[in-house]
Amino acid sequence: MTGSVQDRQGEAGTSYDVFHTDCPARNVIDHVTSRWGVWVLISLRGNNLRFYELRESIKGISEKMLAQTLRALVEDGLVWREVEPTTPPQVTYGLTGFGRDVGEPLTALFDLVTQRLTPGATG
């Protein structure tokens, strides 16, 4: 199915088969749409945050899950990480250009849901 959604050309001319389990594009999508990946990207949409600020902004996430999610998003090039050589080290996270681009539709979805959801409505 060349030319279809399943088989797209990357910027460097790399072909991606997003329905194949080993596809790098699929791995990035899995990280972005994971339970916590969405919330990390939305939390970083407005400003850079330190680890503890991210943990406080995302209710219900454990330190372990936040660390794993951030590690994956950094490896995918969506989030940058800066370590300040202090004692203890201060680690700040922010969105890369790619992360902002990917986060825009997530933010739009988040805004749409929160604007349309009637107060007190639950699943």
Q: Which one is predicted more confidently, 103 or 1?
A: 103
Query: Over 60: is that where the pLDDT of 32 sits?
Result: yes
- What's the confidence (pLDDT) of residue 18? 79
| Alpha-carbon span 63 to 101, nearest angstrom | 26
- If you average pLDDT over residues 53-59, what whole number do you get? 96
Q: Which two tokens stand for residue 1?
A: 């199915």
- What's the confidence (pLDDT) of residue 97? 96
Band (pLDDT 50/70/90 cuts) for residue 94 is very high
| Alpha-carbon span 23 to 19, nearest angstrom | 7
Q: Which of 5-14, 20-29, 74-83 has the highest mean pLDDT?
A: 74-83
Angle at 61 between CA 55 and CA 62, to 5 degrees: 85
CA-to-CA dists, residue 85 to 59, 67, 90, 94, 103, angstroms = 28, 19, 7, 18, 29
pTM score of the predicted model: 0.78
- What's the confidence (pLDDT) of residue 25? 86
